[in-house]
Structure 1
């Protein structure tokens, strides 16, 4: 090939690259098969015939679900080192927190009073149940968790303190979508607990979130090293502001936060893998020591990225559905409303 021809080809290729780069960076009003279109990264466009822009983050979300192993190495597995004698746990003092312990939403100072752990055991029962996700107590015999935590077939258990109880009924929201994680909520029912004078503390579920932007809320996160739940403080983020911040990530500028979600966080403190199903609680104005459950840990974009909030199920948005499930199960739906 002569130098003249080579230079001509190089110039043509350069012009093509510049055109592609400019097209990918802006809203280019193009037409494909007589339909208007816009240039976006391939993962922000559906792969069906319509080829529509992804606005709900479908298949781009990081689920807050525990992986099968805690090991980082590609060839490592988590191997049992035997039973370790557990540390003595602090017993609950009925005088702490609530002046009326019969009401929902009262939170003890050092622990998450109505957070629970959900364990999973494979159908073959070769290995004992292990931590899967979190949950929140809304009735002495029922909990809420994230629906995406229930994708595996097997046996599920709820652990609260020293007690572990098997789940016998799972009801997933009928509009749950695994791709976009919309309506990422499930009600789990346990075998009826015998009547006791000191039942579990129960979350309050408000009809509307009613939380101000930047209000200090509390989320539960799983500490794998300590094998226990811990609480972190995260600011509540207004949905409009949350949409703006998430639109700066791989979700793209066309992302729209669905009404079944709320947001919190955006600092180094954040929920992450293994925290799915855990509660997000915010203080009830004018009632010291009392909280509403505003959300359930659902998904995020990475973990602890500055300025990027975590995303939670909007509990108030699905409260009517929760009420209906509780009535079908024959359980009192007033306990999380008082």
Structure 2
């Protein structure tokens, strides 16, 4: 989740405490309960830096937030690298992007395979650097080889789910467990250092909010922190979902990760993508999520996955 003070990606491990979000006041989660859960990373030397969450939605396609990859580039070798824009406007390369999928723990799990990103598709209505204006959604294609489970997406192949206020939804990620927590690091089975706000996957349950309640909470937080010039043009509507506003929340590093409901069999369906908020788990300040079903046509057009029904 993007923070009101973080507008660019910073270099090094210190950046992970601010640009990468985890779940606040959550609990340990198992990757098996989150099919296709993924960590977007970039390599610096032999170290891997978690930056955002994502979900595999097929064997080659990954769903995430646009602000996680709006500075990334496909390079001459046909794979993506992460960049950031310095204060002087110049782009600086951080390192090649890699995707780790299905990790309960980013360093302790025996699986150390990661996948290169071979294509980037950011929604055409997304304005770079202005995630609060909406369409904060992107699709990434990875190299062949992944054969694991993937997440079902609301509205993709079936009618969109009706989401009522006060319904409880769940979110998961490797982001901060507190608003000001710092990055963790450990060696994986290959001897590479892996850094993330939380190396252990976390999850939390949050209530959905009506758009009116969401707007009231955001407006109050924006006024309290004097952020009218930065966030005065934020957008809510059918393309967004709001949740939280209490002790549990997504946070820095959870960006791009899944917000889900569970069907009658207890299986998750992704209804949202972690996008932005003002701080983490601040009383009355909700989190804003991109509504997946609002973009199902675009997802289908890019990926050629199931057309939405209805």
TM-score where L is the length of structure 2: 0.66
Q: Which runs of 4+ in 1 moved over 3 A?
A: 59-72, 107-111, 125-129, 223-226, 251-256
Is the aligned partner of 1:245 residue 2:222?
no
Higher strand share: 2
Is the aligned partner of 1:184 residue 2:136?
yes
Aligned counterparts of 1:169 and 1:109: Cα–Cα separation in 2: 25
| 97, 116, 123: which one aligns with 1:173 | 123
After superposition, the Cα gap between the structure-2 partners of 1:114 and 1:261, relative to the gap in structure 1 and judged at 3 Å, is: same
**Counterpart position of 1:317:** 294
Indicate the larger mover: 217-226 or 169-178. Answer: 217-226
| 138, 144, 167: which one aligns with 2:63 | 144
Aligned counterparts of 1:300 and 1:168: Cα–Cα separation in 2: 30
Aligned length: 232
Q: CA deviation at 1:254?
A: 8.1
Indicate the larger mover: 225-234 or 179-188. Answer: 225-234
After superposition, the Cα gap between the structure-2 partners of 1:140 and 1:236, relative to the gap in structure 1 and judged at 3 Å, is: same
**Counterpart position of 1:277:** 256
Aligned counterparts of 1:109 and 1:289: Cα–Cα separation in 2: 15
Q: CA deviation at 1:220?
A: 1.1
Q: Gaps spanning 5+ residues in structure 1: where?
A: 1-58, 73-106
Tell whether the 8 Å contact from 2:270 to 2:292 is kept in structure 1 after alignment: yes
After superposition, the Cα gap between the structure-2 partners of 1:247 and 1:111, relative to the gap in structure 1 and judged at 3 Å, is: same
TM-score where L is the length of structure 1: 0.61
**Counterpart position of 1:235:** 207
Tell me the C-alpha RMSD between the 2 structures: 3.1
Is the aligned partner of 1:157 residue 2:107?
no
Aligned counterparts of 1:64 and 1:214: Cα–Cα separation in 2: 31
**Counterpart position of 1:218:** 170
**Counterpart position of 1:76:** none
After superposition, give the CA deviation of every residue in 1:25-79 in whole Å (9 maximum; x if it has no partner).
xxxxxxxxxxxxxxxxxxxxxxxxxxxxxxxxxx99466997545549xxxxxxx
Q: CA deviation at 1:113?
A: 2.6
